[in-house]
Amino acid sequence: MMKFKSNQTRTYDGEGFKRRAACLCFKNEGEDEDLSRPEPAPSVSSHISRHQDLKIASKSPSALTKQDISFNLVLLVSSSRHPDQWIVPGGGMEPEEEPGGAAVREVYEEAGVKGKLGRLLGVFEHNQDRKHRTFVYVLTVTETLDDWEDSVTIGRKRKWFKIDDALQVLQNHKPVHAEYLIRLTTAACGAPCSPSCADRNGNSPVSALTHNSSPHHGLSTHIIDNTESHQAGLNWT
């Protein structure tokens, strides 16, 4: 049986949403060119200064093709609460942590992979049982560790899935996470992201802006737990 992770520091934004970061991790080497279009990690201060009037937004997805989606593999990890179920690696942001850095740290801890961090797919809001706002990035895996933090401490597993298979398992167990892939695949088909997709699961869609826009929410952070934050000190590649 998988052990639960110890309580961690939680950070919240000005509206009481827990701040989270996650990555869709891809295996295909072509992902770097076709999906990621790497960019520097977004700055929270730049979000606030350039988009004070926006509640939530995202960069528009890079151009994808149906072939990209069909043949790429995405990495999922086992749930800490339900070890027979699969989720997208990600977790809460730590105090003073940037979203991109948090996403890289989380996939290192939960999935035992390092890689090339690409674009921000969007910011996803969950309003049902727990209020979350999750920054979701695309990452191309360049290194896979045999043993990693969560595999040793709580017995977490990881597995590569075809996109369609990943969508199916996520929709069955974690429909909020399925919305990340739905947004990605919808962009590949050339159709706009539909708000109706998110409404089914209490997961608000991100607003589509121009390519030069950055995601933003009122990012004044309230720290509930004053325990010392863990500094991973990870490289981005």
* Active site amino acids: 109
β-pair partners for 19: 133
CA distance 126 to 142: 30
Specify the long-range contacts of residues 231-235, CB closer than 8 Å, at least 24 apart: 232/105, 232/108, 232/109, 234/101, 234/104, 234/105, 234/108, 234/114, 235/114
**What are 141's two structure tokens?**
């895996």
Residue 220 is classified by DSSP as -
Distance of CA 6 to the CA centre of its chain: 21
Q: Is the distance from CB of 24 to CB of 138 less than 8 angstroms?
A: yes
β-pair partners for 75: 25, 160
- The runs of H, that is alpha helices, within the chain are 31, 44-50, 66-71, 99-111, 149-153, 163-173, 175-188, 195-199
